[in-house]
Amino acid sequence: MNTSFFDMQNVAVERPLSVMIVEDIAFNAEINKNYLLRCGANVTKMAKNGEEAVNNYKKLASEGKKIDLICMDIEMPVMNGKDAAKKIRKIE
C-alpha cells in the first residue's frame, strides 16, 4: 500500500483509537487534538506534564480502561516525556 504517513483515511481499525495527549503548550495540544479527532481517534485524556500523564494512566489502568496511543512531548516541566514513558511502561 502506497500511503502517506498523514493519509489516515486508508487506515482500517475496528474501533477508534483511544489517545492521551501530553503537551505543556496549550496551542500545540489543541492542534494535536483537532488532528487526531479528524482522523477518527478518541482523545481520552489530556495532560500538561509527564507527572500528570503517569497519574492519568494509573487511574485509567485501575479502572480497566486502555490507552492505545500516547502522543507525548519530550521537554516539559515537572516530569519530562522520557521519564514519564519509562514510568508508564512499568505500569503496563
**Model pLDDT for residues 62-78, shown as the tens digit of each residue:** 999 999 999 999 999 99
Q: Which residue has the cell 506534564?
A: 49
User: E strands along 17-79, which residues?
Assistant: 18-22, 42-47, 69-72
The size of the chain, in residues, is 92
In the chain, the percentage of residues whose pLDDT exceeds 90 is 77
Among residues 24, 14, 12, which one has the least CA distance to residue 51? 24
pTM: 0.81
pLDDT, position 3: 47
Cα 77 off chain centre by: 17
